[in-house]
Structure 1
């Protein structure tokens, strides 16, 4: 009888240790902060922006060196996992002043054959209160009319900056991913910076 209890105990301990090992290497965590801190770049930092969606949340994480947008996914109501990360980079504008906006976007294919796409903006220019993200063609003519931009785009996202930051999450088809244009808009509705 003692042998059976001893074997069962050893087996249960082995299963528990195996579960802990697999769980710790899977990227899943029981708390949002742990999932965010343990994902790339695996540095301590500060949460400066967050926006919730159904099962996902976009967050902007400030580290000593830079800002990162992360897509945080919630599984089974108790586990958190970062599925996409991208570093904000300065935009070289076609119109406007260099250094006014840092931006990024990143897309990853999901099981529904759609791209989970994240966007993030940081602006140090207090005049910029909104950023428009679109995929219209600006090779021949750069439109400054918002209605025309909406008409010419298959993707149009309007983000209001909060303390200089904004982020968004969209599921997009393959034909809509890429070629994004970022436009900074002031309180009069004028586009004061534009770039890719």
Structure 2
């Protein structure tokens, strides 16, 4: 392994130790307050409304209910009545999930000291992240086309929804630019 590649991976470790882990520690310190806030809000908004309803048997057929949950969540089965929005949501959901799965491999590899040199697992994780980014970008473009060109009646176009697209694309594109810059500087694929 040449010195430039070795230096590249050492910089990655420094980034994880000096930047990412303090952010993670801060998040873990704030997490209990966020969880309390979530449960309080959930109780206030949903449980009080649920108590107005009548009791039903919800524990029967747990296998069928779990299967329906997985099919609805992962395959977006109920969305497929309309092909365009279903494809858009499917690409956005799975794109984000693939990016997350690809990045989580890199995060936990540091804990088991698989950082220098990078095994082929990192290349597969990087490929999964790239495919997720491509799917997310495609789904985002479909969403922009649908909201601003096709303009279905049930979609409202407000400035806050426009900002979501702008910030989302900005984050996605900056990730690709940073990765390309790292490859150009280090001369080795991350």
More strand by share: 1
Normalising by structure 2, what TM-score?
0.23
Normalising by structure 1, what TM-score?
0.23
Instruction: Select the structure with the greater relative contact order (CA < 8 A; seq sep ≥ 6).
Output: 2
